[in-house]
A and B are shown apart, each in its own frame.
Chain A
Amino acid sequence: MTALGLDPVVAQSLVDGLGQFLRPSTLFSVLVDGLAKSALFLMIATGLTLIFGLMGVLNFAHGSLTMIGAYLGGLIMVLTVSQGTPNGTRLAVFFVGLFVVFGVLAALGGVIEVGLIRPLYDRPPIYQILLTFGVTLVLDELVRIVTLFYDIQPVADWQAALGTKPTWFTDPVDLGLASVRGLALFEILFGVVTVVAVWAFLNRTRYGLVVRAGSEDSEMTEALGIDVRRVFTVVFALGAGIAGVAGMLLMWDKNWGASVPLAAETLLPAFVVVIVGGLGTFRGTVYAALIVGLADAVTTWWFINVVDLTFLPEVVVFAILVLVLVVKPRGLFGLAEVGGH
């Protein structure tokens, strides 16, 4: 491993690396890569932040819901798409699949909330963490049983699902300054749509108003005659559904892919994004996703091209978490009273 010492050769390679990094084409492709990563982080974290903001439940099962979404989405694609299916049809199937995945996971989320989490609202918040942690164990093992039963390797990425991408997304796209992965652009688009949709839901609909009121002060909201418990169920279902949609998107990305460990792989960055942004603020989550995604992309570029420190990108993600919590204990945009228990 290259030591980061005062070795002149190393210093020279770092300077060269910096020069290479600052070239417009490199910066541009790193930017696109970073935005794509941000979009994915955002998709994973959105459901988590909605649920926490309203209900104060830190949902440990979120990663498992994403993972189930990935497998379910993969299943839909693999069953309907064959070798000769044209690109347009593949994309159309994907969008139909999104609705199915969203529906199934929202239903699952609703069942979990009503059946398991609802009895625990009177207990200390630690019990909700514990319960959802238990749910994770069960869901992961169930998926492992099912995949093994159908002879799919649960630990490795599901290659058949990866192969259902339209060729538009596998071929590089030339954007003048640099050519980028087609899938990256698709992911960025998806992220933007998610931000706009969730923002519109929270700020432009009656139900969103209720959700925001519930986040602010659920007792007062209840006193005003709104059935907060039902809102809880709806938001939990919504969050689970978004997690599933995120999973379906990840299923196509070769950096992630559908696999059982995907649950833990997505849960941890999702936590980081939500905590860095401040628990319960959607705006904070968006900014945090951008910061974490871009930092990840930049460090990934450096470790691939200049320094041989494989752990760099992952360490940076968690270092951001620690740093932000040290400087701003409530996260970047966190309110003092949200999650203050």
Chain B
Amino acid sequence: MSSDADRREASEEASRERHASRGTETDGGTTADAEGETPAESDLPEDYGSGLSWPARYAREHVPHLVVIALFAAYPFLHAFLLESPVSAEAVMLLPDVDTMTAVLYFGLFAMSFDFISGYTGYLSFGHAVFYGTGAYFVVLTANGKVPFLPYDAPFLLLVVLGGVLAVVLSLLIGVVSFRLSGVYFAMITLGFSQVLYVFVRDWDYVGSSPRDGPAVVGPPDATAPAFNVGVPGVDALNLAIGGLAGDSVEGLFGFVNLSSTEVTYFMAGLVVIVCYFAMQRLVHSPFGRVMIAIRENEERAEAVGYDPFRYKLAAFAVSAFFAGIAGGLFAGVRRSVSPDNSLFFLVTGDALLASIIGGFGTLAGPLYGRLFDESVREFLSKEGAGGGLLPYLRNHLPEGVLGADIFGGLTVQEAIGAFLNGHAALYIGLLFVLFVLYVPNGILGTLRDRLGATVAKWAGARLSSGGDGASASPSGED
């Protein structure tokens, strides 16, 4: 590769940064006042469309987004409300915990980043967990004072971004080699790279006393563990610590809203995820994203038209690694611990794949719904019934006669549920997954878009084609 190409890469990187930062500002604004009021500032061109002021137009184009964000924002309150209501037992059984929802958010972000490269360019990144793990390990190791040149109490958001940058570096190294291959070979070589790192970290005793179980955030030997704050950098009042017991709780917000630390974690993680999602969403709908799709549909033709697929694939891979790293950092921040098996192992990529297929491959937002579905089923059939679930509910509500009834050979109903349902969500999710691959190849969101697309897309598409292209073409106009 010539230095010229590198420079072009760098300029692309810069243009992406511009995208990302714009996403940050606008969406940060949108979420802060929840229902999409005026974002503070933006560098969108002033001649964008006509008539309405641009924030109003932006909001109108993103009505589905705003509705979904509002639903997610309302969830903890709804959940709390239903737990107090007459149907509380049913709510405990069916609805996922706020804790679980937080997991849906950060893992959903990882699954989205996986979808960004795999769903849009068609290159199955089967070693994607390596970027997730990089972000997670970076945060935990820094907080334990084990990363040189970085103070253990560096701001959490900085750590998350740096973890993402580290993942980008790694992705460029892996990508330069891997993108010479395609199809199955690409999936396998990325898997190979990630497994090398997995096996290495699993036995690397620098990370902690028991590398196989992974390190927890304990802080450096002579200091206490740092808190992980999410919020506006530099303004203490606008920062809240995340992570279960270590997190902040809020009382008397606007005079009447009380949030437990679990709920604070949920909202703060959600904030990061929204920012990242809109950044990716913007990229997917930019000319850059069009080239990604062109590569998926017909790489030779994309090349013949004059795009250099290698550069675009590498750039897309780097972007996707960046957000995977952020997701990993967020995961480590929420859980305050990390292990090789829940961050670097290839089955973690498998989970992202699962979420992507169920939610909709190549839909970007779909994987979040896929993960929501996945986690809900898992919690519903969880062994302990910690967040509620089927077994505790049945135990409390079915009469003893039914529970103790014989099905066959001395096997009672209760035992049967215990043996075949509890803790075996993977079986049913696997079956559903197979059915989705066979009969709903577009996933939940993909199918919804196909069905409703005619009306919604016509309505939104007119807007996108008149305003969206013009707006997004300018920053990366060099192509």
Q: A134-B430, A322-B193 are in contact. Are A264 and B347 (CB under 8 A)?
A: yes
Is the C-beta of B441 less than 8 angstroms from some C-beta in chain A? yes
Closest residue of chain B to A314 (Cβ to Cβ) is: B199
Docked complex Cα distance between A162 and B357 (Å): 39
Point out the residues of chain B lying under 8 angstroms from A321, CB to CB: 188-189, 192
Most buried by A among B184, B203, B354, B441: B184
Point out the residues of chain A lying under 8 angstroms from B357, CB to CB: 130
Q: Are B195 and A137 in contact (CB under 8 A)?
A: no
Q: Which chain A residues have a beta carbon within 8 Å of chain B's beta carbons? A: 1, 58, 116, 119-120, 123-127, 129-131, 133-138, 140-142, 144-145, 148-149, 264, 268, 271-272, 275, 279, 309-311, 314-315, 318-319, 321-322, 325-326, 329-330, 339-341
Point out the residues of chain A lying under 8 angstroms from B185, CB to CB: 275, 279, 325, 329-330, 339
For the A-B complex with A126-B122, A138-B427, A142-B427 known, give 10 more contacts whose Cβ atoms are closer than 8 Å.
A58-B184, A120-B438, A134-B430, A134-B434, A134-B437, A268-B195, A268-B346, A275-B189, A311-B199, A329-B181
Closest 4 CB pairs of A and B: A137-B430, A141-B427, A138-B430, A311-B203
Q: Which chain B residues have a beta carbon within 8 Å of chain A's beta carbons? A: 122, 124, 177, 180-185, 187-189, 191-193, 195-196, 199-200, 202-205, 346-347, 350, 353-354, 357, 419-420, 424, 426-427, 429-431, 433-434, 437-438, 441
Q: Are B419 and A145 in contact (CB under 8 A)?
A: yes
Point out the residues of chain B lying under 8 angstroms from A126, CB to CB: 122, 124
Which one, A271, A310, A314, contacts B188 given CB within 8 A? A271
Docked complex Cα distance between A123 and B419 (Å): 37
Least Cβ–Cβ distance between A11 and chain B, in angstroms: 22
Least Cβ–Cβ distance between B296 and chain A, in angstroms: 10
Docked complex Cα distance between A135 and B194 (Å): 23
Q: Are A116 and B438 in contact (CB under 8 A)?
A: yes
Docked complex Cα distance between A126 and B347 (Å): 17
Which one, A127, A138, A340, contacts B441 given CB within 8 A? A127
Least Cβ–Cβ distance between A3 and chain B, in angstroms: 11
Once A and B bind, how many residue pairs between them come within 8 Å at the CB atom? 118
Which one, B180, B199, B347, contacts A329 given CB within 8 A? B180
Point out the residues of chain B lying under 8 angstroms from A329, CB to CB: 180-181, 185
Least Cβ–Cβ distance between A134 and chain B, in angstroms: 4
Point out the residues of chain A lying under 8 angstroms from B189, CB to CB: 275, 321-322, 325
Could you write out 11 A-B pairs with CB less than 8 Å apart? A116-B434, A116-B438, A131-B437, A133-B433, A141-B424, A145-B427, A275-B185, A311-B203, A315-B200, A318-B193, A322-B177
Q: Are A127 and B437 in contact (CB under 8 A)?
A: yes
Point out the residues of chain A lying under 8 angstroms from B122, CB to CB: 124, 126
Which one, B188, B200, B202, B431, contacts A138 given CB within 8 A? B431
Closest residue of chain A to B436 (Cβ to Cβ) is: A134
Docked complex Cα distance between A169 and B199 (Å): 31
Q: Are A141 and B426 in contact (CB under 8 A)?
A: yes
Point out the residues of chain A lying under 8 angstroms from B199, CB to CB: 311, 314-315, 318
Least Cβ–Cβ distance between A300 and chain B, in angstroms: 14
Point out the residues of chain A lying under 8 angstroms from B202, CB to CB: 311
